[in-house]
């Protein structure tokens, strides 16, 4: 299998040596300096929109400008977990893909909040309303899946996945239509730098929506290996603060 896993990065880093991985400089079109690996600004590109699309500018470039049997998207500091607390190897990921149609991160459980409530605490609730309108405008069949995902209490995050080319084409064709409509209706110019990343945040939810709308797909939820360990106490306190209206990013 010709599997290529792209690593979305906005700075140079120590990347896995396995040849399945290919770093891609996301947002290169507006970066102060080019990093020493390929960027997302050649060919058909939305690299200049990285401040709103985040790593999805890399996904768009991958979709439009590369040709492989199967694809993965991970982050420079987040990978699907392999053995012994290391990033998965190419062989690991091929084995996972032999067992399913799509690999996504292990779900994060919010327990006391729905996905809708969690988003509204950290971002703008109106973003979700606009996005639902965009989902319906593209294909009304996805509306029930959208509502189901937003009413749930768990979510796969990070815009990370592994899937074959045919599914990537189907997913990206739908995703970028939805985000294009949503982005034209969200008041991005009134948002600060953190909230301007909104289309990347929404993309995380929309991957879950797309999967929920295709129950025929076999989905494997794989643990994530983080090269920079998060403080669970800090993450938990941040979530609790946002629940009471404190600590939302501008």
C-alpha distances (whole Å) from 65 to each of 61, 70, 73 are 6, 14, 15
Percent over 90 (pLDDT), the chain = 89
Q: Tokens 């899937």 appear where?
A: 163
Nearest to 24 by CA among 50, 49, 47, 58: 58
C-alpha distances (whole Å) from 98 to each of 103, 140, 227 are 10, 32, 26
Encode 160-175: b = buried (16+ Cβ within 10 Å), e = exposed: bbbbbeebbeebbebb
User: Which helix (DSSP H) or strand (DSSP E) does residue 71 occupy?
Assistant: strand 70-75
Residue 2 carries which DSSP code?
Answer: -
**Tens digits of per-residue pLDDT, 85-143?**
899 999 999 999 999 999 999 999 999 999 999 999 999 999 999 999 999 999 999 99
Q: What is the mean pLDDT of the chain?
A: 93
**Tens digits of per-residue pLDDT, 50-83?**
999 999 999 999 999 999 999 999 999 999 999 8
Task: Output the CA angle 104-105-108, nearest 5 degrees.
Answer: 135
Q: What is the pLDDT of residue 165?
A: 98
Distance of CA 99 to the CA centre of its chain: 22
**Tens digits of per-residue pLDDT, 135-157?**
999 999 999 999 999 999 999 99
CATH architecture, domain 3-243: Alpha-Beta Complex (3.90)
Residues 213 and 141 sit within 8 Å (Cβ to Cβ): yes
The full set of domain ranges for the chain reads: 3-243
Entry pTM: 0.93
Residues 13 and 107 sit within 8 Å (Cβ to Cβ): no
Nearest to 88 by CA among 37, 181, 161: 161
**Tens digits of per-residue pLDDT, 7-44?**
999 999 999 999 999 999 999 999 999 999 999 999 99
Residues 89 and 82 sit within 8 Å (Cβ to Cβ): yes
What tokens were used for 154?
């768990």
């Amino acid at each position: 299998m010709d599997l290529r896993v792209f690593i979305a990065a906005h700075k140079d880093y120590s990347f896995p040596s396995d040849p399945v991985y290919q770093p891609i400089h996301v947002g290169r079109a507006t970066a102060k300096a080019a990093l020493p690996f390929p960027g997302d600004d050649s060919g058909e590109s939305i690299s200049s929109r990285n401040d709103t699309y985040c790593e999805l500018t890399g996904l768009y470039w991958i979709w439009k400008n590369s040709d492989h049997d199967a694809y993965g998207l991970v982050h420079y500091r987040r990978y699907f977990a392999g053995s012994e607390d290391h990033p998965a190897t190419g062989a690991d990921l091929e084995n996972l893909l032999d067992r399913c149609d799509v690999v996504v991160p292990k779900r994060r459980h919010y327990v006391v909040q729905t996905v809708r409530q969690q988003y509204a605490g950290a971002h703008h609730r109106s973003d979700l309303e606009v996005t639902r309108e965009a989902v319906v405008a593209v294909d009304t069949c996805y509306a029930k899946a959208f509502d189901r995902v937003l009413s749930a209490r768990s979510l796969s995050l990070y815009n990370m996945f592994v899937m074959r080319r045919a599914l990537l084409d189907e997913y990206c064709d739908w995703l970028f239509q939805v985000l294009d409509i949503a982005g034209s209706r969200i008041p991005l110019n009134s948002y600060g730098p953190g909230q301007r990343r909104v289309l990347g945040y929404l993309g995380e939810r929309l991957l879950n929506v797309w999967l929920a709308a295709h129950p025929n797909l076999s989905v494997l939820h794989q643990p994530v290996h983080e090269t920079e360990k998060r403080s669970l106490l800090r993450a938990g306190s941040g979530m609790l603060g946002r629940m009471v209206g404190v600590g939302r990013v501008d």
